[in-house]
C-alpha cells in the first residue's frame, strides 16, 4: 500500500514538473546582438548568468555588474569560451544595496561606454530573517531590489537615450501581486511588522510600479521599459533562505516543480532581443508574453508617489534626476 502511495506521489511530482516546464515560454528570436552593449546586474549566477550567456553568444558586449568580483571573473572566463560573432564579456563591481557603489559603477560606465543598448536590472535578494539596514539607512531588501536599480537607471538614462532604440528590463516576480497596499512613506518597513516575505514581495511590487512610471517619463525618447516574472525558478536566492519550517517547505516545492535558471532567463532574453517588442513599453511579461499585473501594480498615482519617495531615499541630485 505504502509503495503504491509513494509511486503515486512521485508520479504526480514528476508530472507537475514536466507540465510546468513544457508550458514555460521560450525565446524563439534568432536576432543578433552584434554591436550592442548590454549591462546585466547580478550576472554571476542564476537568471542573470544565463541571460548574459545567451547575449554573448548573440555577439553582444555584455557587462557583468556583480558584487562578487572573483566569482564574476570565473563566470566571465567561461562565457568567453561560448562567445561568438564578436561577443565580449566585461566584469565590473556593483553592489546595488550600496548607493555609493551604484554611483561609482555608473560613473565608470559613462566614462568608458559610448553606448548602452540594454540595461537588465536583475540583481536581487530574498529578505533576511531579521530586518537589516544598509549604511545608507535603507532596508536591505528594498535597497538591493529596488532603490539601487532606481538610482542606477536614472544615472544611465542619458546614455540610454543617446543609444536609442534601447531597452530597460526590470526583473520582478509574480509575488508583486501579494501586497494589498504599499505605504510610500514607509518603504524601509519600519512601521509595520517585518517579515521576509513582506519585504521581498513589496520590493517586487516596486519593480513593477517603477517600470510603469519610467515608461511614462520615457515616452518619445526611443527608450522602452518593461518588467517581468521569470517563473518559479530554483536559484541561489532559494538556497540562501533561512531554514524555518515555511521556508523548508517552500524550498522543497520549488526544487521539485520549478524551472532551471536557463529556462527562467527566457523572458528576460526575449525582452532584450525580440523584434516584436521593439517600441513596447510599460508592460509586464511572463513566459515571453504580456501578462496582467495586480490592480495595485497599475495604480498610476502610486507610481508617482513611489518615484518621488525613491528620489528622496537615494538622495537624487538635480543633475541626476529625470
Residues annotated as catalytic (active site), given as ranges: 200
Residues 135 and 102 sit within 8 Å (Cβ to Cβ): no
CA dist 206 and 187 (Å) reads: 9
* Nearest to 229, CA basis, from 194, 270, 199: 270
Task: Give CA angle at 264 (284, 285), nearest 5°.
Answer: 10
Q: What's the first-to-final CA gap in the chain, in angstroms?
A: 66
Strands, E, within the chain: which ranges? Answer: 37-41, 61-66, 88-93, 118-121, 166-171, 223-229, 284-286, 289-290
Cell of 258: 520549478
| Phi, psi for 302 (deg, rounded to 5) | -70, -35
C-alpha cell at 309: 519617495
Q: For residue 28, what are the CA distances in angstroms to 9, 33, 171, 277, 297? A: 34, 14, 19, 13, 28
Q: Which of 255, 240, 254, 249 is nearest to 127 (CA)?
A: 240
Strand 284-286 with 289-290, pairing: antiparallel
CB 234 within 8 A of CB 257: no
**Residue 109 burial by Cβ neighbours in a 10 Å radius (0-12, 13-18, 19+):** buried
Amino acid at each position: 500500500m505504502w509503495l503504491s502511495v509513494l509511486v503515486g506521489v512521485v508520479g504526480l511530482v514528476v508530472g507537475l514538473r514536466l507540465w510546468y516546464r513544457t508550458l514555460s515560454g521560450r525565446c524563439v528570436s534568432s536576432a543578433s546582438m552584434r554591436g550592442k552593449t548590454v549591462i546585466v546586474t547580478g550576472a554571476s549566477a542564476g537568471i542573470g548568468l544565463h541571460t548574459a550567456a545567451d547575449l554573448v553568444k548573440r555577439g553582444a558586449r555584455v557587462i557583468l555588474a556583480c558584487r562578487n568580483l572573483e566569482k564574476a571573473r570565473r563566470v566571465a572566463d567561461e562565457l568567453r569560451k561560448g562567445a561568438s560573432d564578436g561577443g565580449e564579456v566585461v566584469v565590473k563591481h556593483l553592489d546595488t544595496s550600496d548607493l555609493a557603489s551604484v554611483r561609482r559603477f555608473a560613473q565608470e560606465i559613462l566614462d568608458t561606454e559610448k553606448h548602452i543598448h540594454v540595461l537588465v536590472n536583475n540583481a536581487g535578494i530574498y529578505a533576511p530573517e531579521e530586518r537589516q539596514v544598509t549604511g545608507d539607512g535603507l532596508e536591505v531588501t528594498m535597497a538591493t531590489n529596488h532603490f539601487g536599480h532606481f538610482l542606477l537607471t536614472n544615472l544611465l538614462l542619458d546614455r540610454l537615450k543617446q543609444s536609442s532604440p534601447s531597452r530597460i528590463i526590470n526583473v520582478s516576480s509574480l509575488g508583486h501581486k501579494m501586497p494589498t497596499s504599499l505605504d510610500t512613506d514607509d518603504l524601509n518597513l519600519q512601521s509595520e511588522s517585518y517579515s521576509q516575505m513582506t519585504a521581498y514581495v513589496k520590493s517586487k511590487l516596486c519593480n513593477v510600479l517603477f517600470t510603469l512610471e519610467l515608461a511614462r517619463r520615457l515616452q518619445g525618447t526611443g527608450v522602452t521599459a518593461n518588467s517581468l516574472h521569470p517563473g518559479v525558478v530554483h536559484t541561489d536566492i532559494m538556497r540562501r533562505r533561512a531554514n524555518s519550517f515555511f521556508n523548508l517547505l517552500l524550498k522543497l516545492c520549488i526544487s521539485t516543480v520549478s524551472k532551471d535558471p536557463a529556462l527562467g532567463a527566457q523572458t528576460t532574453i526575449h525582452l532584450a532581443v525580440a523584434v516584436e517588442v521593439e517600441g513596447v513599453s510599460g508592460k509586464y511579461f511572463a513566459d515571453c508574453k504580456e501578462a496582467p499585473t495586480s490592480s495595485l501594480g497599475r495604480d498610476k498615482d502610486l507610481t508617482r508617489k513611489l518615484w518621488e519617495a525613491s528620489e528622496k531615499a537615494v538622495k537624487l541630485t538635480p543633475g541626476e534626476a529625470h
